[in-house]
Structure 1
Amino acid sequence: MSESKGVLQGFKEFLMRGNVIELAVAVVVGAAFTNIVNAVVKGIINPIVGALGSQNLDHYQSCLTETCAKDPKTGAFADGIYILWGSVLSAALTFLITAAVVYFLMILPINKWKERQTARKPDEGIPADPTEIQLLIEIRDALIAQRTGSPAAPSSGAGIIGTQKTQQ
């Protein structure tokens, strides 16, 4: 019994993770967005492409055999082998429009926002530049070491200039 509680608890934790919920929302929004793109392709793009012939791109086809015939009553293919390249063209246009809209309206703005956020945050891996006082202390310690002829350890009075007495 305790194993089933562990499995159910694990399943509950899995479902409550942010990634799963975000994925579910993305699928729902994507399905709704697909309907919009399909309407744009069928209502605007296909008629523009169809200006060369039929407005329904599904009617664009090529016959691979010598004899191709349709049944006049049903309109179904009765004889021959057809390549329905109009349907493929329509699907390709739908895909390209969907990809372009997703990129320009979702991916590009998010990437720019992330770049701005990274530019605002200082890099933690890169050490900060030394301050002016730290540089002056290092110069002072180097000059003291030069006079005495021995390497100088950093002075304990960091930040207080002139606290260390030198031998002349």
Structure 2
Amino acid sequence: MLKGFKEFLLRGNVIDLAVAVVIGAAFTAIVNSVVNDIFNPLIGAIFNAESLSESLRWTIRDAPGDENDSVIRFGAVLAALIQFVLVATVVYFALVTPMNWLKRVAFAKQEEGKPAVAADTPPTELELLKDIRDLLADRRTDAAPTDRTPPH
């Protein structure tokens, strides 16, 4: 049962992609919680701001009355960049690194059971040249007379 589950995890096809999308959607809540509830408050404390998106901004034009001001929010862009880097970091260390390790271990175990060279693998050019050399050397020794005396 576990062997079948391992094979399922390590092969790539459409069903695996569908499962990845569903798991990714469910994992989004966890990643967002880690970023929003742990990292963002730490960054806000470092910059001494409640929210980066509201702290770093430049008002271009003050609007009269109830209209919205024209504002460029550098903090919002910075916050989005930081959040992207944090999400990528969490995903890499929580998902990618363990999966790469599991694949490496699984393939190492799989390679232990295989012969060094498969029977249906054609020989390399170097192996063919060595065989030709050995055959030529054998022909020379077979064709040479056994009683050779040098001329005087």
TM-score range, shorter chain: 0.5 to 0.7
How far off its partner does 1:45 sit?
1.5
Greater relative contact order structure (CA < 8 Å, 6+ sep): 2
Given residue 36 of structure 2, which amino acid in structure 1 is its aligned partner?
Answer: N
Q: Provide the residue aligned with 1:147 in structure 2.
A: 141
**Residue among 18, 21, 24 paired with 1:20:** 18
- With 103-112 and 120-129 compared, the bigger mean Cα shift is at 120-129
Considering fraction of residues, name the structure with more helix.
Answer: 2
Q: Provide the residue aligned with 2:36 in structure 1.
A: 38
Q: Provide the residue aligned with 1:63 in structure 2.
A: 59
User: After superposition, what is the alpha-carbon deviation per residue over 1:131-159, rounded to whole angstroms, capped at 9, x for unaligned?
Assistant: xxxx9xx95x6554222339xxxxxxxxx
The alpha-carbon distance between structure 1 residues 119 and 46, as it changes in their structure 2 partners (threshold 3 A), is same
Q: Which runs of 5+ in 1 are unaligned?
A: 1-15, 72-76, 130-134, 151-166
**Residue among 87, 94, 97 paired with 1:108:** 97
Q: Provide the residue aligned with 1:94 in structure 2.
A: 83
Determine what percentage of the aligned residue pairs are the same residue: 19
Q: Provide the residue aligned with 2:8 in structure 1.
A: none
TM-score by length of 1: 0.51
> Number of paired residues?
119
Rounded to whole Å, the distance in 2 between the matches of 1:113 and 1:47 is 37
Contact 2:60/2:72, CA 8 A, preserved across alignment: yes
The residue matched to 1:17 in structure 2 has which SS?
A: helix
Instruction: Please identify the structure whose Cα radius of gyration is greater.
Output: 1
Q: Which runs of 5+ in 2 are unaligned?
A: 1-13, 125-129, 147-152
The root-mean-square deviation of aligned C-alpha atoms, in Å, is 3.9
